[in-house]
Amino acid sequence: MSPALIVIVALFVFVFITLLKGVRIVPQGEEWVIERLGKYSETFYPGLNLMVPYIDVVSQRVVTKDVLLDVQEQEVITKDNAVILTNAIAFVKVTDPVKAVYGVVNFADAIRNLIMTTLRSIVGEMELDQALSSRDKIKARLRESIADEVMDWGLTVKSVEIQDIKPSPTMQKAMELQASAERERKAAVTRAEGEKQAAILQAEARLEAAKRDATAQVTLAEGSAQAIQKVMAAATGADTPLLYLLGEKYIKAMAQLASSPNAKMVVLPSDIQETVRGVMGRFGKGA
């Protein structure tokens, strides 16, 4: 191959490479930051763009679609010194590629660290029960707190979601023990309340029984008094009613003793006949 042909081929290759370097096609969803001799020059938007070969270079290819950032799980201490585990995800969109490239070294890491720091601050102002039940409130405060700061980096936080918020394993075990103790306490209170009500009902039953026994005794006493009055009205002697009642009770006592299932033998006094005859005899004479 002649030298002239080599030069022509080399020149053709150089022109072809130069054209390739000068013509750039940016895909949809991206914006390219162009630097000229180390300084920001312009931003290429989706479509066909021309640049000066060998002088202009593509500094950063910035994705303008929504970016999903996963914030790793971290331990957070609440206001009442409880340790909980929480993580989050953030949906971020680049609105100004120049600020996103030159305003912060790595905007993804910057947002992650910002979310983690702000999340610790927000949860640190809450007690454990409030933190576990206020997921939406934490999310709203988190988004509001970081929105202004990320604007300086040419970013917009579209949404921040709390993926999980739960007690640490040691705290969860302590909570389970606390819940078990609370259940036992409620059971003890319920048992004590039941025993109290039972004791009250038993006392009321004994009081009612005592009242009824007293009423029955009064009634029996009144009946006995009326019986004595009638016997005294029918008898002429002063001792006759007493002897009659005494004999009647004596005979009833002997009958109850003989009918008792525990009584194997009933021993009667030797003068039982004389005693009864004397009582009945004196009653007859009195009549």
Residue that is last in its domain, among 167, 183, 217: 167
Looking from the CA of 86 toward its CB, the CA atoms found within 13 Å total 28
Q: Which helix (H) or strand (E) holds 76?
A: strand 67-77
Dig out the tokens for 55 from the structure: 């002088």
The pair phi, psi for residue 142, each rounded to 5°, is -65, -45
CB neighbours (10 Å) of residue 232? 15
* CB burial of residue 237 (10 Å; 0-12, 13-18, 19+): middle
Residues 75 and 139 reside in one and the same domain: yes
Residues 71 and 143 reside in one and the same domain: yes
Spell out where 124-271 has E strands: 155-167
The pLDDT tens digits for 89-114 are 889 899 999 988 888 888 888 888 99
Average pLDDT, the chain: 80
- How far lies 38's CA from each of 41, 96, 219, in Å? 9, 20, 121
Residues 213 and 246 reside in one and the same domain: no
Indicate the SS3 state at residue 70.
Answer: strand
Across the range 205-223, mean pLDDT stands at 83
β-pair partners for 58: 34
Looking from the CA of 135 toward its CB, the CA atoms found within 13 Å total 13
Angle between helices 272-286 and 240-259 (to 10 degrees): 150
Residues 155 and 206 reside in one and the same domain: no
Domain count within the chain? 4
Residues 255 and 210 reside in one and the same domain: no
How many degrees, rounded to 5, is the angle at CA 36 between CA 22 and CA 14?
A: 35
Which pLDDT does position 275 carry in this prediction? Answer: 58
| % of the chain residues with pLDDT over 90 | 7
Query: Is residue 2 a contact partner of residue 12, using CB atoms and an 8 Å limit?
Result: no
Indicate the SS3 state at residue 38.
Answer: coil
Buried b (16+ CB within 10 A) or exposed e, 66-100: ebebebeeeebebeeebbbbbbbebebebebbbbb
Distance of alpha carbon 221 from alpha carbon 251, whole angstroms: 20
Residues 27 and 117 reside in one and the same domain: no
Residues 206 and 278 reside in one and the same domain: no
Residues 155 and 186 reside in one and the same domain: no
Which pLDDT does position 287 carry in this prediction? Answer: 46
Q: Which helix (H) or strand (E) holds 31?
A: strand 30-36
Provide the domain limits for residue 31: 3-63
Residue that is last in its domain, among 146, 167, 188: 167
pLDDT at 143 over 60: yes
Residue that is last in its domain, among 167, 193, 211: 167
Q: What is the CA radius of gyration of the chain?
A: 54
Which pLDDT does position 34 carry in this prediction? Answer: 92
Which pLDDT does position 260 carry in this prediction? Answer: 62
Residues 163 and 75 reside in one and the same domain: yes
The pLDDT tens digits for 145-183 are 888 888 888 888 888 888 888 887 776 677 667 777 878
How many degrees, rounded to 5, is the angle at CA 234 between CA 228 and CA 235?
A: 85
Residues 81 and 160 reside in one and the same domain: yes
Residues 203 and 263 reside in one and the same domain: no
Query: Is residue 53 a contact partner of residue 76, using CB atoms and an 8 Å limit?
Result: no
- Range list of H helices, 23-124: 97-102, 107-124
DSSP state of 264: S
The pLDDT tens digits for 75-94 are 888 888 888 888 888 898 99
Residues 96 and 145 reside in one and the same domain: yes
- How far lies 39's CA from each of 55, 61, 100, 226, in Å? 11, 16, 15, 130
Which pLDDT does position 188 carry in this prediction? Answer: 85
